[in-house]
Amino acid sequence: MRSLLILMFVVLFSGPSSGATDDWGKTGHRTMGEIATKHLSKRAAKKVSALLGGESLAFVSTYADEIRSDNTYRKYAPWHYVNFPFGGRYENTPKNKKGDIIVGIQNAIDVLKDANASQKEKEFYLRMLVHFIGDLHMPLHVGIKEDKGGNSFKVKWFGKQTNLHSIWDTKIIESYGMSYTELTNNADALNKKEIESIQSGAVTDWMYESRALCEDVYVHTNVGDNLGYKYMYRYVNVTRKQLQKAGLRLAGILNQIYG
Ligand code: ADE
Ligand code: ZN
Ligand code: ZN
């Protein structure tokens, strides 16, 4: 009887967490990873596969979230996001001494380019890079500290209490109802020029794109709103586009590193 009660407890309370640690959710991260895989050069695909022991970019894209609850990896927690004031500039805002998503991405790229780094180190930082390029494209990961990137911005989703961050990490994507392969296969068709245009620019340019979207989100969302179909209609294609841009840009970075 006791073990039955324990089992019931585990089943009831150990479901997927809806906390702040599920950035872009698994589906979002896997989608951008899969889109990146489709745009790797032959050389880059070979190198990536060798580093990851045959695992796919989609598969490793959630790793940085999976290790977040392990204290050994605590120092990487601030690398998932950046906060600075609306109307302000990243460059003029006092930096988080523990780092931020821009620092995280740069560190990862540096290790991947470093001829003296070990294969183990490169593997770890490749996993981190895949995840952080995803997070960079989630508008609320370029957020404001006052509400922790929307984590303490209370709203409802189809009548259920949640927060704005969670809506953008997971709810919009999950409510759309496509798997990561379906989202990948149904991404907007783009020609070579359009792809190159998306892949151009610096990591900070991509950050400011997310910031612009974040500001738009705050214009169109109020604390206590009950969000649902209308919100989906406004933002699901923005979300799909962000996942596609993230995937293309990750591929661009890896193609550049591996020539
Ligand atoms: N914690 C504090 N700010 C955050 C943000 N913008 N995104 C995710 N987690 C955060
Ligand atoms: Zn998140
Ligand atoms: Zn993350």
Q: Is the pLDDT of residue 17 over 50?
A: no
- Report residue 96: phi and psi, to 5°: -65, 120
Amino acid at 113: K
**Share of residues in the chain with pLDDT > 90 (%):** 89
Ligand 1 neighbourhood includes 154 CB (under 6 angstroms): no
Kindly report the average pLDDT of the chain as a whole number. Answer: 93
What is the predicted pLDDT for the residue at 12?
47
Q: Which residues contact 20 (CB under 8 A, 6 or more apart)?
A: 148, 149, 151, 165, 166
What is the predicted pLDDT for the residue at 27?
98
Q: How far is the CA of 150 from the centre of ligand 2 (A)?
A: 9
What is the predicted pLDDT for the residue at 69?
87
**% helix / strand / coil in the chain, to the nearest 5?**
65, 5, 30
What is the predicted pLDDT for the residue at 159?
98
Q: Is the pLDDT of residue 97 over 60?
A: yes
Q: The pTM is what?
A: 0.92
Stretch 44-69: mean pLDDT = 96
Ligand 1 neighbourhood includes 166 CB (under 6 angstroms): no
Which strands, in side-by-side order, build the sheet including 226-227? 160-163, 154-157, 226-227
Which range among 8-12, 108-112, 234-238 shows the weakest confidence by mean pLDDT?
8-12
Ligand 1 neighbourhood includes 81 CB (under 6 angstroms): yes
Q: Is the pLDDT of residue 11 over 60?
A: no
Q: Is the pLDDT of residue 15 over 70?
A: no
pLDDT class for 23, splitting at 50, 70, 90?
Answer: confident
Instruction: State the residue for tokens 């990961």.
Output: 141
What is the predicted pLDDT for the residue at 20?
54
Q: Is the pLDDT of residue 135 over 50?
A: yes
pLDDT class for 16, splitting at 50, 70, 90?
Answer: very low
Domain range enclosing 212 = 2-79+88-258
pLDDT class for 19, splitting at 50, 70, 90?
Answer: very low
What is the predicted pLDDT for the residue at 14?
47
Ligand 1 neighbourhood includes 211 CB (under 6 angstroms): no
227-241 tens-digit pLDDT = 999 999 999 999 999
Q: Is the pLDDT of residue 153 over 70?
A: yes
192-218 tens-digit pLDDT = 999 999 999 999 999 999 999 999 999
Q: Which residue's C-alpha comes closest to atom 3 of ligand 1?
A: 148
Q: Which residue's C-alpha comes closest to atom 1 of ligand 1?
A: 148
Q: For the chain, what is the domain count?
A: 1
For residue 164, the domain's CATH number is 1.10.575.10
Stretch 12-21: mean pLDDT = 48
Stretch 61-83: mean pLDDT = 94
Stretch 67-84: mean pLDDT = 94
Reference 136, options 210, 200, 66, 74; nearest CA is 210
Sequential DSSP letters for 177-202:
T--HHHHHHTSPP--HHHHHHHH-S-
